[in-house]
Chains A and B, each alone.
Chain A
Amino acid sequence: MTHTKRAALFGAVVLSLSICGTALADETTASFNLTPGTCTNPIAIPANNKPVMVMGTTITVSFRGEGHVVMQRYGSQNLLEWAGTDYYAGTENNFSEAPGAHIMWLDYNGKVDLQSATSSHVQVCNSASASGPRAGYLTFIY
């Protein structure tokens, strides 16, 4: 095979599968502490079109819980898609183009809700009617 043909073959491989490189994973963590009936400010998904792991916890005693989803933010359509599992509901997989859609529960009894927010951000909402605030963390890995 000539050098030119090898170059053409290499080009064909690059066309179908492009390795973006190996690096350390990026991680960001946000904390929340919500009184009943309130939501956090919208939280940005840190990458568009690429898969992002979102793990969340509630750490308030007696209401603790956890879950995780892999999420795609499709920026040009204001679309969020996700698939994962949480302690309260089990499998969570869906998509939404509107704010306020349930993504996963972060607590023991289905009150602390990770939701879609405006501009395909996410937010954490505490829908508990009483019994104090709910606190926890959201971690993004990508």
Chain B
Amino acid sequence: MTHSKICAALFAASLASVSGIGAAQATESTISYSVAGGTCSSPIAVPANNKAVLVMGTGIIWPYNGVGFVSLLRGNTSGILSWSGTGLKDGTIGAYAFTAGTHIMWLDFATTVDLQTASSTHIQVCNTGSDIAHAAGYLTFIY
């Protein structure tokens, strides 16, 4: 095989194994939440299926502020959410769930404001304690 044929074959093989979808700008959506003690937000849709979605969150109620992020996968055919990332209170995070109510990451410093799985592989923010009467903050999705 000539050098040019080898190069062409290698290039074709690389195209077959890695399909570049093209460069574009990332989509971003930000949601603010405000959740009373003992309640959860409405289920929040993960904005893409089967692709990695960066989910960054904050809690902004002083002095219980917090921050964290995960890369989240919503597998629409299997009903799974899986994620990995880092939280201010959690440290390194990595897990998966098929059911609602599983802890993903804390959004506050008091480990009260919980980003959780929700029904239909959505997510929700729950204010699980009484330290913060009304938890508030932001969730940003980038994908």
Contacts and interface: CB of A to CB of B under 8 A. Distances in A.
Contacts of B65: 72, 74, 79, 81, 95
Interface residues of A, number: 40
A16 B30 contact: no
A23 interface: yes
B31 A53 contact: no
A79 B62 CA distance: 10
A22 B142 CA distance: 10
Interface in A6-22: 13, 15-22
Interface in B53-100: 54, 56-58, 60, 62, 65-69, 85-92
A24 B23 CA distance: 13
- Secondary structure at the A interface, as helix, strand, loop or mixed, is strand
A141 interface: yes
A72 B62 CA distance: 13
B91 A51 contact: no
Given A82-B67, A83-B69, A91 B86 contact: yes
Given A72-B65, A72-B67, A142 B88 contact: no
B27 A22 contact: yes
Given A20-B30, A25-B26, A93-B91, A49 B60 contact: yes
Given A25-B26, A72-B65, A17 B56 contact: no
B42 interface: yes
B62 A24 contact: no
A24 B67 contact: no
A83 B140 CA distance: 15
A70 interface: yes
B86 A93 contact: yes
B2 interface: no
B112 to A, nearest CB: 16
Given A24-B26, A93-B89, 17 more contacts: A16-B33, A16-B34, A16-B35, A17-B44, A18-B34, A23-B28, A49-B58, A49-B138, A50-B138, A50-B140, A52-B56, A53-B54, A53-B69, A70-B69, A72-B66, A81-B66, A82-B88
